Amino acid sequence: MHDRNLGARTPGNTRRAAPKNPYRLSENRLFYTWKLLEQIRGVCKVPMLAKGILTAEDAKQGLECGLDGIYISNHGGRSLDYSPSTLEVLPEIVDAVAGKVPILFDSGIRRGTDALKALALGASAVCLGRVPRWGLGAYGAPGVQRILEILQAEFVQSMAYTGRPTLASLNRSMVRTDFP
């Protein structure tokens, strides 16, 4: 049994001291701040992204904090039921980032056409969450493989339908963005 505050219990009912936190960051935080990101950036030597960016202002702040990429996500709509759709905020974030770092996009990618829309609006890449898990839950690893094949085929087909032969030929004119 492990007691988070008191260390691990060992046979004989003795306790070991909990390991020290090498990053000197609070383990009991309930929310994240830009100051925390700056602290992490100070000790992190690998590329760093922040997931959950939903405004141009946050994207700019992330760049100022040294992010190596922007990850647009509303966490599948599970965090706040009134958060904007990621597709809705993508164009303003793309404009704010102005090509300085890659933009990863998720939330709402269910079909190849969804991926096409996100890439046309400026995302560098799309991330998949629920859809591969549906395949995994239904058919295991072969289900994930099949889901990815279906999404790829839908994406290729939607590229053909729009007359766009390459990813570089995708642009905003392909997608209606005057959301209500």
Annotated catalytic residue within 41, 60, 75, 164: 75
Sequence-ordered list of residues with C-beta below 8 angstroms from that of 51, at least 6 positions apart, any chain? 71, 73, 75
Identify the three-state secondary structure at position 10. Answer: strand
Backbone angles phi, psi at 116, to 5 degrees: -60, -45
CA distance 52 to 49: 10
Establish whether 75 is a catalytic residue: yes
H or E stretch covering 50: strand 49-53
CA pair distance 43, 150, nearest whole angstrom? 41
Token digits of residue 104: 């990863």
Contact 41/66 with Cβ under 8 angstroms? Answer: yes
- CA distance linking residue 119 with residue 87, whole number of Å: 10
Catalytic residue set? 75
